[in-house]
Amino acid sequence: MRSPVRPRSAPPNFNKNNFMTKKNISSGVVHDLPLDLRTALSSDSRALELWESLTSLARNEWICWVTHVKTPEKRKEHVERVVLQLKEGMRRPCCWYGCVHRKDKALSPSQKFVLNRRAGNK
């Protein structure tokens, strides 16, 4: 499931339901904040405070980690874990090979390895 695409001319607090949200919550470098993660962060003031203290690169990693899953159940689990793990002091997702959607840097050897394994290559 992909995160909604925000039109270039839309303000940063635009969401897929085409209405403005009350809170302006920061997104990542490449990824916009998906509605389900926005809702979870908005409902927990401590998690939201911690989210806003992250760098845009760290927020991008969390967003990619949430959206780069295969099932809605796993995505829901990841959204819940973002809130929990932020409050436990984690600044980036654990054991995540990193966002492969960034175009400003080449893929690392570990990212290439994981992507090749996912594709069935050895």
Asked if 13 and 25 count as a contact pair (C-beta separation under 8 A), the reply is: yes
- How confident is residue 4, by pLDDT bands cut at 50, 70 and 90? low
pLDDT at position 52 over 80: yes
- How confident is residue 108, by pLDDT bands cut at 50, 70 and 90? confident
- How confident is residue 50, by pLDDT bands cut at 50, 70 and 90? very high
Q: In terms of pLDDT, which residue wins out, 20 or 100?
A: 100
Mean pLDDT of the chain: 82
Asked if 86 and 51 count as a contact pair (C-beta separation under 8 A), the reply is: yes
pLDDT at position 3 over 60: no
pLDDT at position 110 over 60: yes
- Whole-number Å distance between alpha carbons of 77 and 45: 19
Question: What was the pLDDT predicted at 99?
Answer: 74
pLDDT at position 15 over 60: no
Candidate ranges 18-22, 64-68, 107-111; pick with highest mean pLDDT:
64-68
pLDDT at position 14 over 90: no
